[in-house]
Amino acid sequence: MAKFPIENYDGIALANLVKSGQVHRRELVEAVIDKIEAKNPKINAVIHKMYDSALKEADTTDLNEGVFSGVPTLLKDISQEIAGEPITSGSKAFQGYIAKEDSEYVKRVRKTGTIIVGQTNVPELALMGITEPSLYGPTRNPWDLNHTPGGSSGGSAAVIAAGIVPFAGANDGGGSIRIPAAYCGLFGLKPTRGRTPVGPLYGRYWQGASVEHILSKSVRDSAAMLDELCLPEKTSAFQALPYNGSYLKCVENPSSKKLKIAYSIDSPINRCVHQDCQQAVLNTVQQLEEMGHQIEEKTAPIDGMAIARSYIMLYFGEVSASLTLQEKTIGRKVSSDVEPTTALLKALGKAYSAEEFVLSLREWDKAAIAMEHFHETYDLYITPTTALPPATIGELEPRTMEKLLMKTVSRIGLGGILKKTGFVDEIVQKSLERTPFTQLANLTGQPAMSLPLYLSPQGLPSGVQVMAARGREDLLFEIASILEKTDQWIDLSKLQ
């Protein structure tokens, strides 16, 4: 008997079939399990399977409540803790850790009626725009198995693009929702800082740069999930401006108001932007102009290199603190357990002062204030999501000599010396050359999304990033819902 064709539906459509009795939850879970077993050996996106608990939940849960009642999904192997299940953050240093309780994000996802079937692959500590941890191996892009699906939510993006589930757990601390969305032809929205929960382990995850949400094949699934996630969290260090409407209704009944929209196709760190990534934006703004929106080429009023340096400083501090805390937990050093790049970031984290970290945070505020003024004139700001198409698997792996240097620096504590040589600016340029556009929204706290509006002649997706003022996810959902109906929107059925 053929399994249910789950790839033909988004989450809301599947839930409606469950609620109307046209399909049983178990059928959906079995369809997802069948697809994981058939497709995961090629894409390596699912690193932990929860089949038994998912089937049991499908059989024993009778309630048809919840916007996603009975819809199977997978969560990301970092910060989305599931009670009694491992969560490794893609690192050997965290192997063996079992979550003691559901994170607040997971609790709210469960309340929508979803059934969790497993966990998806991430780069070590979710640090990269690719998903190639040494612990689990690389995840591959379903559009072309020789290429990366991006990161850090690369595993989640791959399972959606492969037609395994309609949406999956994701989070975004510097582009980790939007970059995989761009590379895999998906919709990915990073909400406003403080809009979604980060507890109970954190009050300020990555100093507020990182937020939780999902990646999805449809705009309405993302909107419906955000409606469920956006209840206030008392323990959070940040609270977004309240939104009293429904994001799903924004998608279903978008406003006809004409917007003033700025766009730029130039890299904020003055590096090359591939013609496909530029063309994706140019095609989009042309279509928006034809719809009657006012379009102006205008670069955001921020110092791109200052933003990039501040973002890399966050890496240094967070990696160093995370690994130091883990060493205290397990009672030993973790240097031999982590990848060379991670060890180098830890060493550099110890080389910077508290004063330098605070000054870096003030760059965030400076940029946030500048962007608030910018959005007094412009409703939306459009850029490419990435500057370059997806890298091939292994392309960004450090060379042997680079790994040796990283290990030496971390082992004998040369972070302070490297700091004085200009090496940090080299890290900035190399790390963000491919993805220089996404970090701004994380540091300013703005909502931003990637739209799947361009397929290259080589058959690889490129994304278009759209940013709005803090608290204005409604504007993003409205414009996304309109563009989703156009011929530019990538049709995933051609892939599956």
Locate the domains of the chain by residue range: 6-259
Give the helix/strand (H/E) hosting 156.
Answer: helix 154-161
Q: What mean pLDDT do residues 319-327 have?
A: 92
Which 3 state secondary structure label does DSSP give 68?
coil
How far apart are the two ends of the chain, measured CA to CA in Å?
20
Burial per residue of 82-103, b for 16 or more beta-carbon CB atoms within 10 angstroms, e otherwise: beebbbbbbbbbbeebebeebb
Q: Assess contact for 161 and 203: CB atoms under 8 A.
A: no
Assess whether pLDDT exceeds 80 at residue 403. Answer: no
Phi, psi of 232, deg, nearest 5: -60, 145
Q: pLDDT by residue (tens digit) across 457-484?
A: 999 999 999 999 999 999 999 999 999 9
Q: What is the model's pLDDT at position 401?
A: 56
* CA dihedral over 85, 87, 91, 94, signed as positive or negative: negative
Instruction: State the residue for tokens 């608990």.
Output: 53
Q: Assess contact for 312 and 443: CB atoms under 8 A.
A: no
Among 237, 240, 239, CA closest to 203: 237
Q: pLDDT by residue (tens digit) across 352-381?
A: 999 999 999 999 999 999 999 999 999 999
Q: How many residues does the chain have?
A: 496
Q: What is the model's pLDDT at position 418?
A: 62
The two three-digit tokens of residue 39, written as one number:
């497709």
Assess whether pLDDT exceeds 90 at residue 61. Answer: no
Annotated catalytic sites, by residue?
76, 152, 176
- Provide, rounded to the nearest whole percent, the portion of the chain with pLDDT above 90: 84
CA torsion, points 325, 326, 331, 336, in degrees to nearest 10?
A: -120
**CATH code for the part of the protein at 6-259:** 3.90.1300.10
* Mean pLDDT of the residues in the chain: 93
When pLDDT is cut at 50, 70 and 90, the band that residue 405 belongs to is: low
- CA–CA separation, 26 and 125 (whole Å): 33
When pLDDT is cut at 50, 70 and 90, the band that residue 409 belongs to is: low
Q: What is the model's pLDDT at position 62?
A: 65
Q: pLDDT by residue (tens digit) across 273-298?
A: 999 999 999 999 999 999 999 999 99
Q: What is the model's pLDDT at position 399?
A: 72
Q: What mean pLDDT do residues 127-132 have?
A: 96
pTM: 0.96
Q: Is 380 left (phi over 0), alpha (psi -120 to 50) or beta?
A: beta
Q: Which residues contact 270 (CB under 8 A, 6 or more apart)?
A: 304, 305
Q: What is the model's pLDDT at position 398?
A: 78
Q: pLDDT by residue (tens digit) across 213-264?
A: 999 999 999 999 999 999 889 999 999 999 999 999 999 999 999 999 999 9
Q: Assess contact for 94 and 52: CB atoms under 8 A.
A: no
Q: What mean pLDDT do residues 164-179 have?
A: 98
Quick one: DSSP state of residue 7?
G
Assess whether pLDDT exceeds 80 at residue 421. Answer: no
- CA–CA separation, 247 and 225 (whole Å): 9
